Amino acid sequence: MPFGQPYPCSMRSLRRACVALVATAALSACLAPQPVVRPSESPAPTATPSPTPIPTFTLLPETPTLAPTVAPPPPTAPPRTARPAPTNHDAGDKLIPYYFVIRGQFSIFPPTPQLDFDFASDVDGDAFFRGLTPVGQPIFTVREDFIMTPRTAYHEIGHAYEALLQRKDASVDWRAKYWAFRGFPGTWQQAAAEAATMTGMGQWIHQPQESWAEAFSVSIVGGGQEKTLDYGRTINPVATKAFFMSLLNGAG
């Protein structure tokens, strides 16, 4: 075809070309790969750490410190009313027969003793020797409700015997003679000093003057157990009576 001339084309051919072009474009669109829509991936589950339990504390109510309960002091007993002192020596009269027995064997005793009024029953003791009168009479007193016994009577009379010997000759240590006769350890003064550190019945048991009186009583009765300390030297009643009688002549 000469340059510059229009390209020969019929309307039918142009229409066919357009249809072919549209068909090709449509087919290309159908055959083009379509994007795949995928669901979004869920994030991988992560382990949720368990919460650390927080310890709980229960506050107990504070126990108050209780002050110690102090028991009230017992009621004070009213002062005991002392029994009235007797105005007789009815109980003391029961000692007289025993006194006469001794006077018949020991001439140093005066014909009769002096009896003080009995003492009340709420006072400790059974009977007491209270010394000598100015003329040398032994003085005795007895608890009003006490039933006299030979051992008690001769015990108190034994005290009187030592006092009468001392009155007869104060230069002689009569108790030292007794201590040596019994074979007791040490001296009677040492025993007296030891007894002075004691109280109550323990003191009485250790007193040398009580040992003398107990030995005199047992020797007159003729037997029995001394209530005072004998230091393991059991008394011989017969020999002990002979010893006491020997003192009348200053022997022993």
Kindly give the confidence (pLDDT) of every residue in the chain, 252 residues in length, as a single tens digit, with 9 standing for 90 and above: 444 444 444 555 545 544 455 445 444 544 445 554 454 555 555 555 566 666 565 555 666 666 667 777 777 777 778 889 999 999 999 999 999 999 999 999 999 999 999 999 999 999 999 999 999 999 999 999 999 999 999 999 999 999 999 999 999 999 999 999 999 999 999 999 999 999 999 999 999 999 999 999 999 999 999 999 999 999 999 999 999 999 998 765
Q: Enumerate the H helices of the chain as residue ranges.
A: 11-31, 96-103, 150-168, 174-182, 188-195, 200-206, 208-221, 237-246
pTM for the predicted model, two decimal places = 0.69
Residue 179 to residue 192: CA distance in whole angstroms: 12
Nearest-angstrom CA–CA distance, 21 and 27: 10
Tokens of 193: 């000093």
At position 178, the amino acid (one-letter code) is Y
What distance in Å separates the CA atoms of residue 95 and residue 194, rounded to the nearest whole number?
A: 32
- Look-up of token digits 């020991």: 106
Residue partners of 243: CB distance under 8 A and separation at least 6 = 178, 181, 219, 252
